[in-house]
Amino acid sequence: MLAPTPGEMEIPNVLVVSRKIGERILIGDKIAITVVKVSGGAVRLGVEAPAELAVMREELAIEIEESQKAALDETEIFGK
Query: Which of 37, 38, 35 lies closest to 23 in space, CA to CA?
Result: 35
The answer to whether 45 and 33 have CB atoms below 8 angstroms apart is yes
Tell me: the pLDDT tens digits for 19-70?
999 999 999 999 999 999 999 989 999 999 999 999 999 999 999 999 998 8
Better-scored residue on pLDDT, 16 or 21: 21
Phi/psi region, residue 75 (left: phi>0; alpha: psi -120 to 50; beta: rest), is alpha
Angle CA(38)–CA(18)–CA(57) in degrees, nearest 5?
Answer: 60
Name the amino acid, one letter, at 31: I
| CA 53/CA 49 separation, integer angstroms | 7
pLDDT at 80: 56
Work out the average pLDDT over 70-78: 77
